[in-house]
Structure 1
Amino acid sequence: MTSLDTYRFVRLDGDVLRIAVATAGKGTSLDFDCVDEGTAALRALTAGEIRAGAVLLVGEGANFCAGGNVRDFASAPDRGAYVLDVAHRLHDFVRLLAATTVPVVAAVQGWAAGAGMSLVCAADIAIGGQSTKMRAAYPGVGLSPDGGMSFTLPRIVGTRKASELILTDAVVDADEAVRLGLLSRLVADDEVQTEALRVAAGLADGPTSSYASIKALLARSGDSSLSDQLDAEAASISAAAAGPTGREGVDAFVEKRRPDFRATR
């Protein structure tokens, strides 16, 4: 098993893999020491070298993530080459977030701008606070999106609304973010990380194979016909019913007891 003892920005909170994506020391801009550690940890999770039932994305500071470090962009001798490198590193992380079979929860306090907003869109569940704000931020500095925003945002809010949000660089407040589906729900500002961890821990204690199947079905639904999706659902629920997790869940329901999904792993 892979040890996380040498990691600074990744740790296990029980069965939750907690990954910081931004730090106060970097002004809560996207921290690539965090990203690189997160990528390594997610690879280990996918390979079974780390055991976790959920992933939690957090920012260590006033904001979840205020976007890329534009000062670093400006000081690079070759700006194009520098941004290409950091985009590839971020995209390795996003690909692994998309590929992981466990639920991904984001604790979105303060600002989620630029790449920070992209990472919120990459999560399965996003918990925000009353003062949370989101902004594409790319056109404000003459850039185009990265982190998957041009893929995930239209699937969350629709193509027309995604175009408006990115092109006008609109600031989306917390209530509007919930209405659009960018955030799952809101809690008090000082409870965002606590509540997001509670949600992630609850998921980590649940039917992990069921979650994997749910995520796989949702991931393919955008490119699938209804008939093909129905076939995929039938195959998935049949396999679940025959497997240990489905058997435990159904038996527990019939026996009027709480299912012990941990025993089925």
Structure 2
Amino acid sequence: MTWSTPVLGAEVVDGVLELTLNRPDALNALNLDLKDSLAAVLRAIRYDDSVRAVLLTGAGRAFCAGGDLSEMDPRRTPEQARARQHQLLHDVFLPLTRTPKPVVAAVHGHAHGAGLSLALACDLVVASEAAPMSFGYVLRGLTPDCGITYLLPRLIGMARTKQLLYSGRRFTGAEAAAMGLVAEAVAPADVLSRAGALARQLADGATVALALTKRMLEQSGHLGFEDMIEAEAYSQAVTRATADHAEGVLAFQEKRSPVFQGA
């Protein structure tokens, strides 16, 4: 099965779905076609066992420059604008954060606004030290969107969140790593290889355990301590019954690396 479209490259290699935003002339800005392509892939892979991890990157010199300004019609009513935004969040951003597959973003170049939000909705972000980034909403007279008011304070704290959102200033991938905004910042030439290595490592992992861990971490933002330890107990019970747990124990006893099957 192929999920590629003219605006989104999609190829499964050794259990890793490599997704490439493919609008390089528009710096991979999120237009309607690209949003629809992403939504379709995220729906399709949720229960597809051939996909064990996802690697997301962009063609050309940008990861994603944000929303496509050419499709932002000022004649839309507030209700119409809200409906379009609601569809984007529920078709792309929520499925991205909630897919049981671990997702690694390779941010080699420009990442701004909703494009940077797209990266941060992934599980791990590897960025070029020189990648230009920003949340420039206020510079366009807009409020933040795509879940950034939820994601950003959890990643870097409220004071830094306000500083970035109120100013709309640009910063680099190196600064983002220093703030804890991304997992790693590496030399520009190493971004894709490092992100790919992380994605392959996750694809080779105990995917049931990874999926449940991802789900619990997402829930931890709004559940209390008692609820979380109940979720942990349930998840432990599920993973103890998996073949991957048995393999993990056996590999420990035999002093070798485990070979997980995702079951």
Say whether the fold is shared (TM-score over 0.5): yes
What CA deviation, in whole Å up to 9, does each residue of 1:65-86 have, x standing for no partner?
1111223326x65375774455
Quote the offset at 1:57 in angstroms: 1.5
Q: What SS is found at the alignment partner of 1:217?
A: helix
Q: What SS is found at the alignment partner of 1:147?
A: coil
* Residue pairs, 1:96-245, within 5 angstroms: 96-245=95-244
Question: What CA distance in whole angstroms lies between the structure 1 residues aligned with 2:39 and 2:226?
Answer: 36
Question: What CA distance in whole angstroms lies between the structure 1 residues aligned with 2:4 and 2:111?
Answer: 28
Partner letter of residue 68 of structure 1? G
What CA deviation, in whole Å up to 9, does each residue of 1:46-93 have, x standing for no partner?
143x6201112211110111111223326x653757744552343111
What CA deviation, in whole Å up to 9, does each residue of 1:87-125 have, x standing for no partner?
234311111111201101101112210001111220110
Q: Which moved more, 1:11-20 or 1:59-68?
A: 11-20
What CA deviation, in whole Å up to 9, does each residue of 1:4-29 have, x standing for no partner?
16533141231122223352122332
Question: What CA distance in whole angstroms lies between the structure 2 residues aligned with 1:201 and 1:186?
Answer: 18
Aligned match of 1:46: 46
Partner letter of residue 156 of structure 1? L
Aligned match of 1:67: 66
Q: What SS is found at the alignment partner of 1:64?
A: strand
Native 8 Å contact 2:98 2:215 kept in 1: no
- CA-based RMSD: 2.1
Native 8 Å contact 1:4 1:10 kept in 2: no
Native 8 Å contact 2:4 2:10 kept in 1: no
Partner letter of residue 4 of structure 1? T
What CA deviation, in whole Å up to 9, does each residue of 1:126-149 have, x standing for no partner?
001121122111111111122111
Native 8 Å contact 1:56 1:106 kept in 2: yes
Assess, with a 3 A threshold, how the Cα gap between structure 1 residues 80 and 19 changes in structure 2: closer, same or farther. Answer: farther
Native 8 Å contact 2:10 2:20 kept in 1: no
Assess, with a 3 A threshold, how the Cα gap between structure 1 residues 112 and 255 changes in structure 2: closer, same or farther. Answer: same
Q: What SS is found at the alignment partner of 2:100?
A: coil
Aligned match of 2:88: 90
Q: Which moved more, 1:181-190 or 1:4-13?
A: 4-13
Native 8 Å contact 1:16 1:201 kept in 2: yes
Quote the offset at 1:160 in angstroms: 2.7
Partner letter of residue 152 of structure 1? L
Quote the offset at 1:161 in angstroms: 2.0
Taking only the aligned residue pairs, the percentage that are identical comes to 33
Unaligned runs of 5+ in 2: none
Question: What CA distance in whole angstroms lies between the structure 1 residues aligned with 2:146 and 2:21?
Answer: 13
TM-score (norm 2): 0.90
Aligned match of 1:26: 26
Aligned match of 2:76: 78
Q: What SS is found at the alignment partner of 1:38?
A: helix
Question: What CA distance in whole angstroms lies between the structure 2 residues aligned with 1:146 and 1:230?
Answer: 32
Native 8 Å contact 1:35 1:93 kept in 2: yes
Partner letter of residue 227 of structure 2? D
Q: What SS is found at the alignment partner of 2:63?
A: coil
